[in-house]
Amino acid sequence: MKSFFFIASIIGALGTLYYLYQRQLGAISFFILSIFFFSLAFNQLSKRPDETKTDQSLTNNDYIKKSERNKK
């Protein structure tokens, strides 16, 4: 049932975008599409595991100690 509403909303959106494009209001349809793709990308990024916490776990002292080891 959920997929039916998703497909119906896509078809409705395509019809609306086509209508706007035929009325020479294509910029509005591209703006709507950009909002849609931005929301998809934002959802994908928010579902990712947070990898920055492990990358930033080194403190300055750890970095200095590692750089001193590399000099020897």
Quick: pLDDT tens for 35-70. 989 998 999 998 877 655 555 555 555 555 555 666
In a domain, 2, yes or no: yes
Per the confidence metrics, is the pTM higher than 0.75? no
Question: Which value, to the nearest 10 degrees, does the dihedral of the CA atoms of residues 9, 10, 11, 16 take?
Answer: 90
> Quick check: is 57 in a domain?
no
How many independent structural domains does the chain possess?
1
Region of 24 please: left (phi>0), alpha (psi -120 to 50) or beta: left
In a domain, 11, yes or no: yes
8: left (phi over 0), alpha (psi -120 to 50) or beta: alpha
Residue 14 lies in a domain: yes
Q: Is 61 inside any structural domain?
A: no
The answer to the question of residue 36 being in a domain is yes
Which pLDDT score, from 0 to 100, does residue 8 have? 92
Instruction: Give the domain extent around 38.
Output: 1-50
Whether 41 is in a domain gets the answer yes
Tell me how far apart the alpha carbons of residues 26 and 47 are, in angstroms, rounded to a whole number: 32
Residue 9 lies in a domain: yes
Q: Which of 7-11, 32-36, 45-49 shows the lowest per-residue confidence on average (mean pLDDT)?
A: 45-49
